[in-house]
Structure 1
Amino acid sequence: MVSRKDIIFEKLMPYHIIIRAIDGRNVFDDEIDCYRFIFQMFVGNVGSPAFNLHRKDVVKAAKALLMGEEIPEKLIVAEHQPLVHLLSFVLVVNHSHLVLVPNTENGIPKYIQKLKGGFAKYYNLKHDRRSNLFERPYKIVPIQNNFQADAILGYVNIKNPLDVYQPLWRENGLKNEKEALNFLREYQFSSFPDLFWKRKSRILAPASVQEMYFGEGFESNRTNYENFVRDYLQQKLISNQHLFLEEY
């Protein structure tokens, strides 16, 4: 396996990142913990959380970020320009998926270190534990063409959120497709509501950056999401597991 130190992250190239909790620990089965991770996703990109934050303030801030609202400056210690552009994300019980584009030199490893470290510090304090929270190393694969980008877009925003909705659905099939579509729209801890529905959260990259990777007019085509989802679920979009799994 190639060391993270040996990877040269190319600016403008998107990367699919998978962060797994150690021993399959369910770190995202509590909404409060999910909101904390969302907050850390935003804050870690530009600096650090302020000291002595109250849990209710963090939850309120995370909800505001997901709804596209500003949050009080007192909650953040701004330290640098954004390290990455976030194109997609999902939290799935014991792991998370991110699609990132580096915005600065070594932006991705710096961002992942701050994201994992900041959340682990909070989580370990809350649960009175001291050991590592996430597996090392995290998994990463560069997204090198449009076919791969479309496949990963569905993998992150459709397949993985549905694992939260109905575990083992991949083996047994969905029990109710209509309910599944509603879940995808309503599940807060995923970028599906931003990319395919009406939400415009502040943690995702600006629309101008998204269009660089998803194509011009991507936002105006959101109404076609049901066709994309149904095609994906009916496996009309070819599934290639190697596009999603670890390359480095």
Structure 2
Amino acid sequence: MPRQSRKPSDTGIYHVMMRGINHQTIFEDEEDNYQFINTLDRMRVRYDDEGNACGRNCCYYAYCLMGNHFHLLIRERDERVGETIKRIASSYVYYYNRKYGRDGHLFKERFKSEPVNDIAYFTVLLRYIHQNPVKAGIVEKVKDYEFSSWGEYDGTVEPVFQICDVNTVLNRIPFKELDEWVNDPLADDVCCLDNDNERPRLRLSDDQVWQEIIKIAGVTCSSDFQKIDKTKQREALGLLRELGASVRQLERLTGISRGVIQFVRK
């Protein structure tokens, strides 16, 4: 069946969601999150052949990085949204593959997007995107999550580090009103973008991971884990990743190589 064309936006504004291939974690640690935000920053500006800024490819109104996927509220400028997302993804995959010694795809082949044609839905998306970590149980309040754009709205992120066009939003919606909306929980059945109803896996502490290893594999130290049957070992690693343990965390705690852990079927 041929792919359906993306629905155009009358305003040039789109809600974009992109997920790791096979639901793979795409942000393993803080460095990965900061690298992706830096990539967003670089890709919004257009440069000439001499490296001088000469225009804007896009502007952002909101983002949220969620372990195995990200959300972005973006407006086209000098470049179509598809080209911008392609460049963002390509740049980040190059970084990720070099860092973790891997090859191949990281993201699903095609990102999801939907047009945003009115202020009412724009406001719903501001709430939905920023409430993702709260809905997932990662934090209790929107302001407590580090890897979203809310800090740019409430002033906890210094202006020099801001990448979103918050002033355009705040000129339309006073901060006090926006703050109340964003912290007013959306109904559980509000789900923007079709089929985007999977909650990201929660991060586990090292102690929690060991408790799970003991239950799953029946061992209490890394050397014993390395000695168990390879099939059982892979099954255990898959379950641990599904529960929310990161590749780096499992490598550190079990002594199993990153390459083995990364390609375990979850």
For Structure 1 versus Structure 2, the TM-score category normalised by the shorter chain is 0.5 to 0.7
5 Å-filtered alignment, 1:91-130, equals 91-106=65-80, 108-130=81-103
User: How far has the Cα of 1:7 moved from its partner?
Assistant: 4.0
Aligned length: 192
Identity of aligned residues (%): 21
After superposing on structure 2, the runs of 4+ consecutive aligned residues of structure 1 that deviate more than 3 Å are 1-4, 6-12, 76-80, 196-201, 223-227
Alignment pair present for 1:161 and 2:120: no
**Closer, same or farther in 2 for the Cα pair 1:47/1:146, shift >3 Å?**
closer
Show the counterpart of 1:16. Answer: 15
User: How far has the Cα of 1:29 moved from its partner?
Assistant: 3.2
Show the counterpart of 1:25. Answer: 24
**Closer, same or farther in 2 for the Cα pair 1:204/1:14, shift >3 Å?**
same
On the 8 A contact 2:153/2:166 being kept in 1, the answer is: no
Counterpart among 113, 116, 119 of residue 140 in structure 1: 113
On the 8 A contact 1:11/1:101 being kept in 2, the answer is: no
Counterpart among 162, 166, 169 of residue 210 in structure 1: 169
Show the counterpart of 2:241. Answer: none
Amino acid at match of 1:192: W
Q: Which whole-Å CA distance do the structure 2 matches of 1:225 and 1:8 have between them? A: 28
Counterpart among 150, 161, 169 of residue 192 in structure 1: 150
On the 8 A contact 1:92/1:163 being kept in 2, the answer is: no
Q: Which whole-Å CA distance do the structure 2 matches of 1:142 and 1:99 have between them? A: 10
Moved more, 28-37 or 145-154: 145-154
SS of 1:231's equivalent in the other structure is coil
Q: TM-score, normalised by structure 2?
A: 0.62
**Closer, same or farther in 2 for the Cα pair 1:149/1:78, shift >3 Å?**
same
For structure 1, the 5+ residue unaligned runs are 49-75, 168-178
User: C-alpha deviations, 1:165-207, integer Å up to 9, x for none?
Assistant: x25xxxxxxxxxxx712xx224221011223454344211251
CA RMSD of aligned residues (A): 3.0
On the 8 A contact 1:185/1:193 being kept in 2, the answer is: yes
Show the counterpart of 1:231. Answer: 184
On the 8 A contact 1:185/1:197 being kept in 2, the answer is: no
**Closer, same or farther in 2 for the Cα pair 1:227/1:46, shift >3 Å?**
closer
Q: Which whole-Å CA distance do the structure 1 matches of 2:169 and 2:175 have between them? A: 13
On the 8 A contact 1:139/1:246 being kept in 2, the answer is: no
Show the counterpart of 2:240. Answer: none
Q: Which whole-Å CA distance do the structure 1 matches of 2:110 and 2:60 have between them? A: 20
SS of 2:15's equivalent in the other structure is strand
Of the two structures, which has the highest relative contact order with CA contacts closer than 8 Å and spacing of 6 or more? 1
User: C-alpha deviations, 1:207-235, integer Å up to 9, x for none?
Assistant: 1x335xxx52x3xx3234553245325x3
Larger radius of gyration: 2
Show the counterpart of 1:45. Answer: 44
Show the counterpart of 2:140. Answer: 180
Q: Which whole-Å CA distance do the structure 1 matches of 2:26 and 2:79 have between them? A: 30
Q: Which whole-Å CA distance do the structure 2 matches of 1:193 and 1:88 have between them? A: 10
**Closer, same or farther in 2 for the Cα pair 1:77/1:189, shift >3 Å?**
farther
Q: Which whole-Å CA distance do the structure 1 matches of 2:90 and 2:75 have between them? A: 20
